[in-house]
Amino acid sequence: MPAPERIALVTGATAGIGLETALGLARQGFRVVIAGRDAGRLETARRSVAARAGSSAIETALGDFASLAAVRALAAEVLARHDRLDLLVNNAGLIAPRVEMSADGYELTIAVNHLAPFLLTNLLLERLKASAPARIVTVASMAHKGAKLDPATMTDPADWTPLSAYGSSKLANILFTRALARRLDAQTVTVACLHPGVIATDIGNGAGIFAGLGWRLAKPFLDRPEKGAETSIFLATTPDATPFHGAYLKHKAISRPDPAARDDRLAEALWQESARLVGI
């Protein structure tokens, strides 16, 4: 009896690291569902991945991470379409150039970069467990270093800057991974997060007037998005990912994040508040 087709969902996959991750997974034989918030860009990405991978097993799914209702709709669509899910790559993220609120009234950076993948992961978790062995990969960042996070005020922080909000959201990604790993059997669903490198994507364009300008000037000298996808693809395809359960990786190897990212009491407080905010 042939092995079942492996299904992967990659968020934020219309460009940059997400697009290259989808391509790498397609080349590894996955049926890849590319998720994004713009139907036109999704179709362009689908065609690109299909052509470059030589695969017809590329799908799209619409989901705007600035809206928890849209995240729920995305999860419902994936669950209705596929009776198994082998891999979830939480890749979508942004740096907001100014203080903005999500559709649910939460600061946009933490809403898109943490609350949306927190909700999506939990909505898909039973399907992932049923597809065991499955994997969850979350794209964090070394931008968590020096960041602060107070779950009680994270949706409306007092001292907001584009980079402080981004750093806090990436710290949340690592803490979420740790808390999720404690809730899962690594033999059933392995969960890990990673720093992709400093990659030439558009994410830094909104980092503020001076930081954004610096980012645009530096981009020609940074690694390309395909390099940024390497650790995500490694975690998705390495024969045994269990040694990386709950870990933070750089360059395909376990790395030690900041002390705040290893604070399990903070991780649990973040989990409880996030669950309250997203309504699960």
Report the 10 Å Cβ neighbour count for 186.
Answer: 18
Catalytic, 166? Answer yes
Structure tokens at 111: 């809403």
Strands 189-195, 134-139: parallel, antiparallel or unpaired by DSSP? Answer: parallel
Closest CA to 15 of 141, 223, 204, 202: 202
Number of Cα atoms under 13 Å in the Cβ half of residue 116: 35
pLDDT beyond 80 at 224:
no
- Which residue ranges make up each domain of the chain? 7-196+225-278
Whole-number pLDDT of residue 220:
52
Phi and psi dihedrals of 10, rounded to 5?
A: -120, 120
Structure tokens at 212: 């954004």
| Rg of the Cα atoms in the chain | 17
Strands 253-255, 248-250: parallel, antiparallel or unpaired by DSSP? Answer: antiparallel
Mean residue pLDDT of the chain comes to 92
pLDDT beyond 80 at 86:
yes
Whole-number pLDDT of residue 4:
85
Query: 151 pLDDT band (50/70/90 cuts)?
Result: very high
Cα dihedral sign, 4-9-13-18: negative
Q: Is there a contact between 85 and 9 (Cβ–Cβ < 8 Å)?
A: yes
> Which of 106, 166, 176, 215 is labelled catalytic?
166
Structure tokens at 229: 């996808």
Closest CA to 33 of 3, 4, 54, 63: 63
Mean pLDDT of 51-71: 97
Domain 7-196+225-278 class, CATH top level: alpha beta
pLDDT beyond 60 at 216:
no
Query: 223 pLDDT band (50/70/90 cuts)?
Result: low
Mean pLDDT of 191-209: 66
pTM (two decimals):
0.92
Mean pLDDT of 92-119: 97
Mean pLDDT of 115-136: 98
Alpha-carbon dihedral angle through residues 221, 222, 223, 226, given to the nearest 10 degrees: -110
Closest CA to 132 of 192, 187, 193: 187
Mean pLDDT of 2-15: 92
Contacts of residue 240, Cβ cutoff 8 Å, sequence gap at least 6 = none
Number of Cα atoms under 13 Å in the Cβ half of residue 64: 10
Mean pLDDT of 8-35: 97
pLDDT beyond 70 at 37:
yes
Query: 218 pLDDT band (50/70/90 cuts)?
Result: very low
Look at phi and psi of residue 163 and say left if phi exceeds 0, alpha if psi is from -120 to 50, else beta.
Answer: alpha
Cis peptide before 133 (omega within 30 of 0): yes
Mean pLDDT of 126-143: 98
Mean pLDDT of 250-267: 98
pLDDT beyond 80 at 248:
yes
